[in-house]
Amino acid sequence: MASMMVNVFDGTRRPMPQTVSLLIRILDGNQKTISSDFHPAPSVHFTDLPFYDNLGDNYTVIVSADGYLQAGFTPVKISPQILQTVDLMLLPKNAGFNFSQARWEVLANNHPRLVQFLSHGESTDHPARDRYEDLMERRPAFLAAFLNITTAMQSIFLPQGAALEYFKQLLWDELQQDRFFAYADRALVDQVKLAAEHGVFEPEPGSGLFHPGATSSYKQVQFGEANVQFTFHENDTCQLDGVPCAKVEADMDYYRDLAAHALLEVIPNELLGRRTEPKTVYMLRWIAGRRAGLPEFDPPYTIEG
């Protein structure tokens, strides 16, 4: 027999309130329901889980609650020798963004490198600040996507420095709900290629199909979901602060697998005229990071009902 601890958090990255009744379903690798019941606490210890010593030990955990979007994780490989811990996040169905920790003055104190990136090319910080505050008010999903991507970039350590350090100037007019474009030090291209040789990234074949004008594209493969992708447009260049730069497109997809990304994300988005949802990326990346035992994914905003 084996055991598992399931912890459930909300969009503020804090444990779910005990006032919320959680339906937690545990399925084994044979898709047999081992447990399906309501629980009043955000942390539940499941004991006496059947251990098969085969693929049947690849469990699935699914959590739902009234007024919240369902979340889950698979596979969770159980073993009698270790207590498996699964951290999941439930987002309110009618959730909104809380940007109190992303206000410009707070960002300047806590994330000066990000403010430098946003302000590059301005004689003072006021035009950048005005654009930023307008984005927060009128297009909050765009800002959430930008903060998701840049937060994730801060934890991508290349052979020389973190990925965000290479980004010089944001192209404000090309900011979208699921990606942003910027000029970055051309050295980033070689750094990502070197990281790919060590298994941190994988090249995306036919990158021009998904990204018109692209010369190459590399997706992070550290997580099962919500990885960062850098797409290079090396024919679009400039000089910034005396540094040769190239245009880079940065985004985060739901799925690591290219086929799943195309069939379950790109094609449905095109058919329905929608974009990858930053709330979902936030939730997936947080869960994936917790599962990998990495420092918490903590963009300077939360999602609250």
Judgement on whether residues 142 and 38 belong to the same structural domain of the protein: no
Which domain covers residue 128, as residue numbers? 96-304
Choosing from 33, 64, 89, the residue where a domain stops is 89
Residue pair 164/150 in contact by the 8 Å Cβ criterion: yes
Cα-Cα-Cα-Cα dihedral sign, residues 299, 134, 100, 302: negative
Number of domains in the chain: 2
Residue 298 — pLDDT band, cuts 50, 70, 90?
Answer: very high
| pLDDT of 263 strictly over 50 | no
Q: Does one domain contain both 85 and 100?
A: no
- Whole-model pTM: value is 0.91
> For residue range 20-68, what is the model confidence (pLDDT) as tens digits?
999 999 999 999 999 999 999 999 999 999 999 999 999 999 999 999 9
Which of 89, 122, 149 is the last residue before a domain boundary?
A: 89
pLDDT the model gives residue 224:
85
Q: Which of 32, 55, 89 is the last residue of a domain?
A: 89
Per-residue DSSP letter, 102: G
Are 51 and 196 part of one and the same domain?
no
Any idea which of 124-133, 136-145, 150-159, 283-292 has the lowest mean pLDDT? 124-133
- The larger pLDDT score, comparing residue 178 to residue 272, is at 178
Do both 112 and 23 map to the same domain? no
Domain match, 161 and 225 both: yes
* C-alpha count within 13 angstroms, C-beta hemisphere, residue 64: 8
Length of the chain: 305
Same domain, 172 and 65: no
pLDDT in tens, 151-196: 999 999 999 999 999 999 999 999 999 999 999 999 999 999 999 9
Structure token pair of residue 21 = 């009744």
pLDDT at res. 272: 42
Helix 112-119 / helix 126-138 crossing angle, nearest 10 deg: 100
Residues 134 and 273 in one domain: yes
Q: What is the mean pLDDT of the chain?
A: 91
pLDDT in tens, 236-253: 999 999 999 999 999 998
H/E stretch holding 299 reads none
pLDDT at 112 over 50: yes
Q: Are residues 214 and 292 in the same domain?
A: yes
Residues 48 and 104 occupy one common structural domain? no
> What is the average pLDDT across 186-207?
94
Helix, strand, coil percent values for the chain (each to nearest 5): 35, 35, 35
